[in-house]
Amino acid sequence: MERAERLWPDGPRYRYDEQCFPPSADSFLLGGFANPRRGEKVCDLGAGAGLLGLLLLAREPSLQVTGIERDAHACAVLAQNAAENRLPLTALCADLRQRETLPAGAFQLAVSNPPYFAPHTGAVAEGARGDARAELTATLEDIFAAAERMLQWGGRFCLVYRPERLAALLTAAVTHGLEPKRLRMVQHTASSAPSLVLLECRRGGKPGLSVEPPLLLRLEDGGESPDVRRAYFRDKE
């Protein structure tokens, strides 16, 4: 069953169904972390129905965003979301593993909310949602290789991932010439273990990683943190 909802009051409408993931905290947090710049060409690797593209365009309307997605149904929903919101968000139905079909050096910023789990590490649903949860059709190496091809020299790649796979994340980045430059852990509270990691890499960047203070979801009094309110567009920037 298809659903459509406002991502926040007066925000863009987002359509999705049982084959596409509903709005998720990790995408909102990544959208707030990426810091797109005016007029940039952006690609979303594994875009699904285009949630990240909508979030980035809400922050910087001058962007040109291309969502790369292998699933034809998700591409169609992405195109519908773009048309209904009248935004410069384009679907490119392509397989990230077939790098020769991807536009080379065409983007200044790449983003991705990739599958978190290696295959055969737990119960994962089949179909489009299974592809989005686990590396069933594209591995972490495939995603970094695609980002390496599609980014201009000096371009940035921002993604969200699980902290228990941080070693694999950093290894894949360096292997594909994407130097880790900025890292931020996400924690529920100040005393909680990290639940997510946000990473920015730069193609051809010089060594030097800035580790930012943790992004806390909740304050000591239980209220939302300023970072969460910013990510969810609850406070004006």
pLDDT bin (cut points 50, 70, 90) of residue 235 is: confident
236 domain-assigned: no
Structural domain for 195, as ranges = 12-231
172 domain-assigned: yes
Return d(Cα 22, Cα 44) in angstroms, integer: 17
CB-facing half-sphere around the CA of 98: CA atoms within 13 A: 7
84 domain-assigned: yes
- What's this model's pTM, rounded to 2 decimal places? 0.91
1 domain-assigned: no
Q: Where are any strands of DSSP class E within the chain?
A: 3-6, 13-16, 41-45, 64-69, 89-93, 107-112, 151-161, 178-187, 194-203, 210-211, 215-216
Q: Assign 3-state DSSP to the chain and report helix, strand, coil percentages, each to 5.
A: 30, 30, 40
3 domain-assigned: no
189 domain-assigned: yes
Number of separate domains in the chain: 1
pLDDT score recorded for residue 120: 52
Q: What percent of the chain has pLDDT over 90?
A: 86
pLDDT digits (tens, 9 = 90+) for 107-142: 999 999 999 766 654 544 454 444 445 445 789 999
- The domain that holds 17 is classified in CATH as 3.40.50.150
Is 234 or 117 the better-scoring residue by pLDDT? 234
6 domain-assigned: no
Q: What percent of the chain has pLDDT over 70?
A: 91
137 domain-assigned: yes
pLDDT digits (tens, 9 = 90+) for 64-117: 999 999 999 999 999 999 999 999 999 999 999 999 999 999 999 999 999 976
pLDDT digits (tens, 9 = 90+) for 157-192: 999 999 999 999 999 999 999 999 999 999 999 999
